[in-house]
């Protein structure tokens, strides 16, 4: 460029002193040249003043005598027809300006419109039209410039033929509809620099099928193609050559070109820096859009757009470093975006691929394929709308590399075997997948598949949502899975398959998952596994959530919270394990397999649980811990096992092959099994200290069921009923707190039980120990007065405790065709049976449970009041809906055969019998699907005539399901209802949406619908802003039906949460999504005053109420003229013979209730019943 400027200035300077010769004919041209050279003019200007034309091609040679510059020019574009000009080598510089050349020579043969043998050439303002011959221009100059020139209708070998070595510049050239055999701009020798700017190349054709195009394949020092347009050209290679310094294509447009090989390319020997920048590629057809094979080159493809190109590869390269930056490229069938291969033995190490800020969409083949690149990095990009063949393994990203990084990238709407697939024999140094979003995927395998062994793998802070397929399969020495959010995933196999020496899970969140196998499978040669601060909510799997079937040293869980899983949370199926440690964790509502299981093929040295809660979980053997395999030592400290159940043995603990069990400072309550309500053991040395053991139930052995020689000892425990049953040939030595009461099987299956005070059982049944002193069993001559419950009662019914929460159960069949139901009741510490208490129902969301609802709502917090009084809270437990997880009526996934309304009314009936409840102050609230059910109750007169007011929180209002029976909301009075909803809720969006196959009503439409339903004046709403406008409260009360009011809290930025300033305990002090998203208000600060404002209308209150009720015996319901009686029975199991008898004994107005912290008496025969009844009386007597 600089040299061209110098040349132009030099020519300009000499023209003023040059002799100007007028040329009006061919004769004038030859005469003028002879005259000028004869005079020895150094600077000659030939001014063409008229068109020059001859019948056949005539070449005029201008060769000077000491001539420095020659200018052939015209004032305006002037035609030269069949006139060719040749400038000889004796001339230093030549300029041709404002001339139009047309030659009628022999096609692609001899004949050039202009030929230069001079060092410096400038052609400007010219036109080459319908030139038939060898070339429009041939030049042997060292510096050549052509500008503002048109080439059209050429039928030649070349457009411009450059035969020497130097610099070549074309500016503002219009190269249109030419037909050439070889190339538009042809360079014959190496060492040239070429610059083409601001030019247009349209509808040109090149005949040769090897390496020819607009520029040809020869060797250049460098090339710059800038601000050019290439449209409808048909070539072998549009822009191609060999370059030693750099090759830059920038600000260009490539549209509808056809290339037999590539659109832009280099030859094999091009060790240069390649840049394709700010360019657009549309509808081009070629095997490769960009092709750069030199292993020494570097490539930057940036700020460009490619759309609807019919190519095999957008980029095919072996370059040392490849960068794609700020590129948007839509694929077409069969295309690959980057196909990079450095598998040649001569390729140097250190090669890298960097894809950043790149948008890729619409591909149906491998999008990025790399081979033998040491470093592959993909960042801040998007990959979407990709459909790959499932017939073979065609991953989205195929890489054989040393290090791989994928971060801050979005992958969506992809159908493929996998998304990121890394393979190869090379040992990977590290793989990092961080901050990405994977959504809407349908995969045959996993999102991330790493078949190569890696020294370090990190999968962190990613979001996996709405995907079919597994998530991650890898083999690595050190693997960390941390900070990921996994939601709505369905996998035909496992979600995570991990092998390697060190595996760590940390701070991950899992919601609503299905896996046909395990969710997380640890395998191979694993040394240590660490699982920290991980939450699981709503898992439906074919096997456990965390599974291990291999040998490893240590498995450590801390801060793990698993809620609503269809299968065991932790499963050790086989292998030899050194130590398993579980700390500060919670496992709730595990539907089968127990919360933690060890298979019969596994062997574990030590299992330690500390500060861990296992509640509401189930299994065939062991509701909490189901250890079939050999465990040398099991230790529990500060743990809770409550409300778990087993259909066979061990409501809490099934330990048939554990050697030593030590339990300290723990709680074991309300667990239920056929045999062994708390423990089922064999060959165990059991030591329990400072532990509460209460309310456990079993047909045989509510405390212990023993199937192999064992012992039980301990001190400082609180044990309500010490019912022990042993299988034949299974003696148990009982001492310490376990030595007071023993029961054994009757008849031929009885056996001796030895303990510290003697022998307690023989084959004929119960025998009082001979070493007991008579005074120990003395019974008083008078019985204490019977207990009375309800208003004015002298005690709480069995299971209720001031200041605590207890779980109760209705046995199956409590109402026709209804399943077993449970609920928890919190009685405040300041409850007083002489003062009637308000009653609040708080319903949990889908997939959640009553314990979760108590935690997030905070309604059990001491000191909360309604109408100035402490209130009782009920947290009902939903049953499985059509998705296999808990649900309430009001949603498309509800189990419509379950009568949730009837269940609610039955709870009210029973609790009013047990406790002193104010019938005018019964309220209902709930979150998510529980909020939808609160709305359902408000639309059901049978419930709304008993429940005074309602509140919905982040409510799932499914348009065609949430408004009562038949979805026809029926109200016969004014309904007070208060609604809370966050604008950032992405589970139940504030603006409504579509989920679970049904429409969701927006929050504004929901609350305005309630206002309209009650005839409120929609134009007289009251709007108040709180906390600087973050919360806006809209209220309707004017004109409403008597007692009706609608309040709506719109909470800016709140997720799918119960509004509260502080975090619930399940969050472990760490803010996050959903219930762990704190906001600026506490819902209870507004909800409770709202309830206080609205008691049930007086005309709906019952005319009479009971003041007290008598306590029930263990064997039958005791009726009263003023209240219905309640029978405490074992939990619903198909093998419990006592249950049917209990149900049959209850009148139609009674409910069969199982308090999970009751005295839990075993149904082991009449002699046992009598013995336990006597003991119960003795216990009362000594109190």
pLDDT of residue 1160: 34
d(CA 105, CA 16): 37
Contact 537, 508 (CB under 8 A): no
- pLDDT tens digit string along 177-218? 999 988 999 888 877 899 999 999 999 998 776 768 888 767
**Which band of pLDDT confidence, cut at 50, 70 and 90, is reported for residue 681?**
very high
Number of CB atoms found within 10 A of residue 972's CB: 10
State both tokens at 694. 């209460």
Q: Mean pLDDT throughout 486-493?
A: 90
What's the rounded Cα separation, in Å, for the pair 905 and 916? 16
Task: Give φ, ψ of 290 to 5 degrees.
Answer: -125, 135
**What would the mean pLDDT of 864-871 be, rounded to a whole number?**
93
pLDDT of residue 426: 57
Taking the C-alpha atoms of residue 514 and residue 543, their distance in angstroms, rounded to an integer, is 10
Query: Residue 451 above 80 pLDDT?
Result: no
Rounded CA-CA distance 1151/620 in Å is 27
Average pLDDT, the chain: 83
Q: Which residues pair with 636 in a beta bridge?
A: 609, 663
Helix (H) / strand (E) element for 287: namely: strand 285-292
pLDDT (tens digit, 9 = 90+) per residue, 594-621? Answer: 999 999 999 999 999 999 999 999 999 9
pLDDT surpasses 80 at 907: yes
Q: What percent of the chain has pLDDT over 90?
A: 57
| Residue pLDDT, tens place only, 618-654 | 999 999 999 999 999 999 999 999 999 999 999 999 9
Give the bridge partners for 876, in sequence order.
823
Report which of 126, 198, 191 is spatially closest to residue 169, judged by C-alpha positions: 198
Residue 627: per-residue pLDDT: 95
Which of 514, 600, 624, 591 lies closest to 549, judged by CA? 600
Phi and psi torsions of 1002, nearest 5°: -65, 155
Tracing tokens 């209708």 back to the chain, one arrives at 153
Residues 676 and 693: their CA atoms lie apart, in Å, by: 13
Query: Which pLDDT value is given to residue 171?
Result: 97
pLDDT band with cut points at 50, 70 and 90 for residue 347: low
Per-residue burial over 69-78, b if 16 or more Cβ lie within 10 Å, else e, is bbbbbbeeeb
Strand, helix or coil for residue 1131: coil
Q: Which tokens in the block code for residue 161?
A: 């033929």
Q: Is the pLDDT of residue 1057 over 70?
A: yes
Yes or no: say if 980 and 952 are a contact pair by the CB < 8 Å rule.
yes
How is residue 153 written in tokens?
């209708």
Q: Check pLDDT > 80 for residue 831.
A: yes
- DSSP 8-class letter at 53: E
Given a contact cutoff of 8 angstroms between Cβ atoms, the answer to whether 111 and 136 are in contact is no
What's residue 967's pLDDT? 86
Return the DSSP state at 50. S
Distance CA 241, CA 194 (A): 11
pLDDT over 50 at 732, yes or no: yes
User: Which whole-number Å values give the CA distances from 1049 to 155, 1020, 1024, 1094, in the listed order?
Assistant: 78, 17, 9, 18
Q: Tokens 């189930």: give the residue.
A: 618
List CB contacts of 308: < 8 A, sequence separation 6 or more.
Answer: 282, 283, 330, 332
**pLDDT value for 436:** 94
Q: Are the C-beta atoms of residues 426 and 455 closer than 8 Å to each other?
A: no
| pLDDT value for 860 | 93
With cut-offs at 50, 70 and 90, classify the pLDDT of residue 1171. very low
Is the confidence at residue 16, as pLDDT, over 60?
no
Instruction: Report the sign of the C-alpha dihedral through residues 917, 928, 562, 676, in that order.
Output: positive
- Is residue 284 pLDDT above 80, yes or no? yes
Rounded to a whole number of angstroms, the CA Rg of the chain reads 44
Over range 586-593, report the average pLDDT: 92
If DSSP codes are grouped into helix, strand and coil, which group holds residue 115?
Answer: strand
Are 533 and 1066 in contact by the 8 Å Cβ rule? The answer is no
Q: Which residues of 209-243 are buried (b: 16+ CB within 10 A; e: fewer)?
A: eebbbbbbbbbbbbbbbbbbbbbbbbbbbbbbbbb
108 Cβ contact partners less than 8 Å away, ≥ 6 residues apart: 133, 134, 155, 156, 157, 180, 181
HSE-CB at 829 with a 13 A cutoff on CA atoms is: 6
Q: Is 413 exposed, middle or buried (0-12, 13-18, 19+ CB in 10 A)?
A: middle
Question: For the chain, what is the largest distance between any 2 Cα atoms, rounded to a whole number of angstroms?
Answer: 155
Confidence of residue 935 (pLDDT cuts 50, 70, 90): very high
Q: What is the pLDDT of residue 859?
A: 96
The pTM of this model reads: 0.64
The secondary structure of residue 1159, as a DSSP letter, is: -
């Amino acid at each position: 460029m600089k040299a061209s400027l110098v040349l132009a200035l030099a020519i300009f300077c000499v023209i003023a002193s040059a002799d100007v010769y007028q040329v009006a004919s061919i004769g004038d041209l030859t005469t003028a040249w002879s005259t000028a050279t004869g005079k020895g003019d150094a600077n000659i200007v030939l001014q063409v003043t008229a068109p020059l034309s001859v019948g056949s091609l005539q070449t005029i040679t201008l060769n000077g005598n000491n001539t420095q510059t020659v200018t052939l020019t015209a004032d305006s574009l002037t035609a030269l027809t069949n006139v060719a000009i040749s400038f000889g080598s004796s001339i230093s510089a030549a300029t041709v300006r404002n001339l139009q050349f047309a030659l009628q020579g022999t096609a692609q043969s001899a004949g050039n419109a202009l030929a230069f043998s001079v060092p410096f050439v400038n052609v400007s303002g010219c036109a080459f039209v319908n030139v038939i011959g060898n070339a429009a221009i041939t030049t042997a100059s060292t510096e050549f410039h052509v500008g503002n020139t048109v080439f059209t209708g050429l039928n030649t070998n070349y457009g411009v033929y450059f035969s020497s070595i130097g610099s070549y510049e074309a500016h503002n050239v219009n190269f249109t509809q030419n037909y050439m055999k070889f190339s538009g701009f042809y360079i014959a020798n190496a060492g040239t620099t070429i610059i083409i700017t601001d030019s247009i190349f349209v509808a040109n054709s090149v005949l040769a099928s090897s390496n020819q195009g607009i520029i040809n394949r020869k060797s250049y020092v460098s090339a710059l193609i800038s601000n050019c347009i290439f449209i409808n050209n048909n070539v072998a290679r549009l822009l191609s050559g060999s370059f030693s310094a750099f090759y830059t294509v920038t600000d260009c447009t490539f549209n509808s070109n056809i290339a037999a090989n590539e659109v832009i390319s280099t030859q094999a020997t091009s060790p240069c820096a390649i840049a394709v920048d700010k360019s657009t590629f549309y509808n081009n057809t070629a095997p490769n859009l960009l092709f750069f094979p030199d292993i020494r080159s570097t490539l930057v493809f940036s700020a460009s757009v490619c759309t609807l190109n019919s190519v095999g590869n957008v980029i095919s390269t072996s370059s040392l470093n490849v960068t794609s930056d700020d590129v948007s490229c839509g694929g077409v069938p069969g295309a690959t975006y980057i196909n990079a291969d450095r598998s040649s033995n001569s390729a140097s190490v250190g090669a890298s691929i960097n894809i950043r800020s790149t948008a890729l969409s619409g591909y149906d083949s491998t999008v990025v394929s790399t081979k033998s690149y040491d470093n592959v990095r993909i960042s801040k990009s998007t990959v979407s709308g990709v459909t790959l063949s499932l017939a073979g393994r065609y991953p989205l990203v195929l890489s054989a590399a040393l290090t791989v990084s994928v971060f801050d990238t979005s992958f969506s709407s992809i159908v493929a075997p996998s998304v990121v697939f890394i393979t190869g024999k090379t040992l990977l140094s590290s793989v990092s997948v961080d901050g990405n979003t994977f959504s809407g995927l349908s995969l045959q395998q996993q999102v991330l598949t790493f078949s190569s062994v890696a020294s370090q793998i990190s999968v962190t802070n990613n979001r996996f949502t709405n995907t079919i397929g597994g998530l991650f399969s890898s083999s690595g020495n050190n693997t960390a899975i941390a900070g990921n959010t996994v939601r709505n995933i369905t996998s035909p196999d496992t979600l995570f398959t991990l092998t390697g020496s060190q595996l760590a899970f940390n701070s991950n969140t899992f919601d609503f998952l299905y896996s046909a196998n395990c969710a997380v499978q640890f395998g191979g040669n694993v040394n240590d596994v660490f699982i920290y601060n991980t939450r699981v909510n709503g898992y439906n799997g074919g096997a456990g959530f965390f599974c291990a079937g291999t040998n490893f040293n240590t498995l450590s869980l801390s801060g793990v919270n698993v809620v609503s899983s269809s299968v065991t949370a932790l499963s050790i199926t086989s292998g030899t394990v050194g130590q398993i440690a579980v700390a500060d964790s919670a496992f709730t509502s595990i539907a089968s397999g127990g919360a933690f299981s060890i298979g019969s093929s596994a062997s574990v040295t030590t299992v330690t649980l500390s500060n861990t809660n296992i509640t509401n979980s189930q299994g065939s053997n062991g509701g909490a811990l189901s250890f079939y395999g050999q465990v040398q030592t099991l230790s529990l400290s500060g743990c809770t096992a409550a409300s778990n159940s087993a259909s066979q043995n061990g409501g809490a603990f099934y330990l048939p092959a554990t050697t030593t069990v030590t339990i300290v400072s723990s709680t074991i309550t309300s667990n239920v099994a056929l045999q062994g309500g708390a423990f089922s053991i064999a060959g165990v040395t059991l030591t329990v200290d400072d532990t509460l053991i209460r309310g456990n139930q079993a047909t045989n052995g509510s405390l212990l069921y023993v199937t192999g020689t064992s012992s039980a000892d301990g001190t400082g425990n609180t044990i309500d009923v010490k019912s022990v049953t042993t299988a034949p040939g299974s003696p148990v030595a009982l001492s310490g707190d376990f030595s007071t009461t023993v029961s054994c099987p009757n008849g031929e299956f009885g056996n001796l039980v030895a303990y510290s005070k003697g022998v307690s059982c023989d084959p004929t049944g119960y025998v009082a120990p001979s070493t007991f002193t008579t005074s120990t069993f003395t019974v008083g001559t008078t019985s204490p007065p019977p207990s009375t419950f309800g208003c004015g009662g002298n005690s709480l019914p069995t299971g209720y405790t001031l200041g605590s929460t207890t779980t109760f159960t209705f046995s199956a069949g409590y109402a026709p065709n209804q399943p077993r139901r449970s609920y928890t009741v919190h009685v405040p510490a300041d409850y007083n049976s002489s003062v009637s208490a308000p009653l609040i129902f708080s319903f949990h969301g889908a997939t959640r449970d009553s314990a979760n609802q108590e935690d997030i709502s905070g309604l059990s917090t001491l000191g909360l009041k309604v109408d100035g009084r402490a209130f009782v809270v009920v947290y009902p437990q939903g049953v499985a809906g059509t998705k296999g997880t808990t649900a309430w009526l009001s949603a498309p996934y509800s189990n419509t055969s379950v009568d949730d309304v009837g269940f609610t009314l039955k709870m009210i009936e029973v609790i009013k019998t047990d406790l002193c409840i104010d019938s005018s102050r019964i309220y209902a609230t709930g979150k998510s699907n529980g909020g939808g059910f609160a709305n359902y109750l408000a639309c059901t007169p049978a419930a709304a005539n008993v429940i005074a007011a309602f509140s919905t929180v982040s409510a799932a209002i499914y348009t065609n399901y949430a408004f009562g029976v038949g979805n026809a909301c029926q109200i016969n009075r004014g309904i007070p209802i208060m609604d809370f909803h966050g604008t950032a809720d992405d589970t139940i969006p504030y603006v409504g949406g579509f989920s679970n196959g049904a429409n969701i009503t927006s929050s504004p439409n929901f609350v305005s619908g309630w206002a309209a339903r009650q005839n409120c004046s929609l134009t007289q709403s009251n709007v108040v802003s709180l906390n600087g406008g973050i919360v806006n409260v809209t209220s309707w009360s004017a004109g409403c039906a008597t007692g009706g009011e609608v309040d709506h809290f719109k909470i800016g930025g709140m997720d799918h949460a119960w509004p509260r300033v502080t975090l619930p305990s399940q969050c472990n002090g760490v803010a996050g999504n959903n219930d762990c998203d704190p906001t600026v208000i506490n819902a209870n600060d507004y909800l409770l005053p709202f309830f206080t404002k609205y008691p049930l209308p007086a005309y709906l209150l019952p005319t009479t109420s009971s003041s007290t009720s008598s306590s029930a015996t263990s064997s039958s319901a005791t009726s009263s003229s003023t209240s219905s009686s309640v029978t405490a029975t074992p939990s619903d199991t198909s093998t419990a013979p006592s249950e049917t008898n209990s149900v049959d004994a209850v009148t139609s107005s009674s409910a069969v209730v199982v308090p999970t912290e009751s005295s839990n008496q075993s149904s082991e025969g009449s002699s046992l019943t009598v013995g336990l009844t006597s003991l119960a009386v003795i216990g009362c007597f000594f109190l």
